[in-house]
Amino acid sequence: MDYLKILSSKYNMTEKWTRQGVTVLKSSDLYIQLIEPYHRTDFQYCLRADFPETFDRWGVALLEEEFVNDGGFLQVLEALDTFFKR
């Protein structure tokens, strides 16, 4: 699965920046940061989401979920939908 493409399409987002396995997507209502697996995430993906006015790329995020495969990504999408509907 292309996680960035799915997130971009589902939430109507554009890429703000990408550096060393970290990508930030943005919309007027939401920022999503997707971190590719590496040793500090125990080799899992990490998805962080926050509102634009409180987004800090390495600070505390309102939603932070880790996953290792496509099934985990689908569960994270459900959590993100719940978060976004608040």
Q: For residue range 6-60, list pLDDT tens digits in order.
A: 999 999 999 999 999 999 999 999 999 999 998 888 899 999 999 999 888 778 8
Query: Band of the pLDDT at 86, cuts 50, 70, 90?
Result: low
pLDDT of residue 84: 78
**Strand locations in the chain, DSSP E?**
14-19, 22-26, 31-35, 45-50, 63-67
| 48, 61 contact by CB (below 8 A) | yes
| Pairing between β-strand 45-50 and β-strand 31-35 as defined by DSSP bridges | antiparallel
Angle value at C-alpha 19, between 64 and 57, nearest 5 degrees = 35
pTM beyond cutoff 0.85? yes
Helix (H) / strand (E) element for 3: namely helix 3-11
